[in-house]
Chains A and B, each alone.
Chain A
Amino acid sequence: NAGVTQTPKFQVLKTGQSMTLQCAQDMNHNSMYWYRQDPGMGLRLIYYSASEGTTDKGEVPNGYNVSRLNKREFSLRLESAAPSQTSVYFCASSPDRIENTEAFFGQGTRLTVV
């Protein structure tokens, strides 16, 4: 199993450009998440999806949109990139259980907006 796969691994955008970060998981998990990681700030939740067809805002949703295309895929879109969105983006998924729900992470996408 590949686990959680993110593409691309690296991206440089100019201010105002748009792009979509792709994420797919093959573990049949219901829940998927997008986090951003910035130095000294840990991981902050952008959006999450508890199941196919549903999405909810996290701590820092402004400037982003998401789409839960099906159970496997959860994409993150930047419509008009800004330098403040320079960050490392992580997608994660977890099983939908009441008890322990460990999150499994992708390898990250390093995005630079110039």
Chain B
Amino acid sequence: GEDVEQSLFLSVREGDSSVINCTYTDSSSTYLYWYKQEPGAGLQLLTYIFSNMDMKQDQRLTVLLNKKDKHLSLRIADTQTGDSAIYFCAERRGTGRRALTFGSGTRLQVQP
């Protein structure tokens, strides 16, 4: 979706931290999501954050939200080869339809 932007590719070494960034344009967005897509598979929800939160931590995942700048990031600590996948940022807007608007996805490649 053109209203949600992500960089297309990120490469890290195993054991390092990965940071995947996302910007969105709709200030009425209520929930923001990170989905993971492994090769040949559908999308699986990793985590989400409500728009009145700044940060959410879930094991190796940390989501940071800067609502002023409309910037969302996903940090994966101690990145493993199994984390190699495409990561999609998505927003649910505050008004109108309930469907999510997705970014173009960031392909994370983890080098052993």
Q: Let me know if A102 and B97 touch, CB within 8 A.
A: no
Chain B binder among A43-51, A68-76, A78-86: A43-51
Give A4's nearest chain B residue, CB to CB. Answer: B42
Q: How far is the CA of A16 from the CA of B104 in the complex (A)?
A: 29
Q: Interface readout for B26-70 with A: 1 if CB under 8 Å, 0 if not? A: 000001010100001111110010100000000000000000000
> Within 8 Å of chain A (Cβ to Cβ): is B88?
yes
Q: Let me know if B4 and A42 touch, CB within 8 A.
A: yes
> Within 8 Å of chain A (Cβ to Cβ): is B102?
yes
Q: Let me know if A40 and B104 touch, CB within 8 A.
A: yes
Q: A40-B8, A43-B88, A101-B92 are in contact. Are A107 and B41 (CB under 8 A)?
A: yes
Contacts of A25 in B (CB 8 A): none
Q: How far is the CA of A66 from the CA of B92 in the complex (A)?
A: 23
Q: List 8 A-B contacts (CB under 8 A).
A: A42-B4, A45-B99, A48-B98, A59-B1, A102-B33, A102-B48, A106-B42, A108-B41
List 17 additional contacts besides A4-B42, A33-B99, A90-B43; criterion CB under 8 Å: A40-B8, A40-B104, A42-B1, A42-B88, A42-B102, A43-B1, A43-B88, A44-B1, A48-B99, A50-B97, A58-B99, A100-B50, A102-B48, A103-B45, A104-B45, A105-B42, A105-B43
